[in-house]
Amino acid sequence: MSNAEAKASPDHTGAGSGSASAHNPEAARLRALLEPVVQANRLYLEDVAINIAGSHRVVHVVVDLPQEETGGVSLDVIADISKELSDVLDSDPQADTRPYDLEVSSPGVGRPLTEPRHWHRARGRMAKVNVVQGENITGRIQSVDDGGVTLVPEVAVKKGMKPRQGEPVKLPFDRIRNGKVEIEFSHLPEDGLEPEHNGPSEEA
């Protein structure tokens, strides 16, 4: 009988901003346990974190689409993977005896862009880029390759006028400190990449 209460929340803002499993042996063990299930569902395991409060614990799993895909992880996919991960945790022979809640979410647009795969997933979006030894740039992510990111910068014009697009700029990864997607409410990219959905939470 499962003691997991899987809470599905697509595009959890701020999730995935750092790998908790890299600093916690038990989280790292659970990551290794859960990763094959996530990969079998054609998803990427972004992170696993464990929060303990007395005799209770919360296992938070962050999943994302592969970097070559666009869009966000749907609520139905989150619900399905939550059930599978719950079954794996229930049959874990090394499991902590304390009851747990399983929370599964996907990264939101507020996630800092700190890894190449984050930039791939943000293709077509407007981003503010903090540059090492240079002027920061705000522009649309046009393309991403092994060497870096190409952005089409937005150039400020007179107050009240729509910014104009500048010439594409290629930034090598070693010149990028980090980046952050800018929330847009009125723009739909010309290439058809729609903004990710920030939907309501749902219990699976």
For 128-140, the pLDDT digits (tens) are: 999 998 889 999 9
Quote the CA–CA distance of 139 and 96 in Å, as a whole number.
47
| Same structural domain, 92 and 18 | yes
Give this prediction's pTM. Answer: 0.70
Pairing outcome for strands 137-144 and 148-155:
antiparallel
Give me 83's structure tokens.
């059930």
**Residue 107, strand partner residues:** 12
| Region class of 176: left (phi > 0), else alpha (psi between -120 and 50), else beta | beta
Rounded to whole angstroms, the Cα distance separating 1 from 167 reads: 59
- pLDDT on residue 172: 95
* Count of other CB atoms within 10 angstroms of residue 195: 18
Band of residue 190 on the pLDDT scale cut at 50, 70, 90: very low
Domain membership of residue 31 as a residue range: 7-109+199-203
d(CA 154, CA 63): 31
pLDDT at res. 162: 75
Q: Same structural domain for residues 131 and 71?
A: no
Which domain CATH number covers 120?
2.30.30.100
> Strand 44-53 to strand 7-12: parallel, antiparallel, or no bridges (unpaired)?
unpaired
Six token digits for residue 201: 């939470």
CATH value at residue 47: 3.30.300.70
* Domain identity same for 82 and 160: no
Residue 149 sits at the vertex; the CA angle it makes with 145 and 45, to the nearest 5 degrees, is 65
* Residue at 189 is within a domain: no
- pLDDT score of 185: 66
101 and 125 both lie in a single domain: no
Identify the three-state secondary structure at position 129.
strand
Tally of structural domains, the chain = 2
Residue 154: the pLDDT is 85
SS3 call for 154: strand
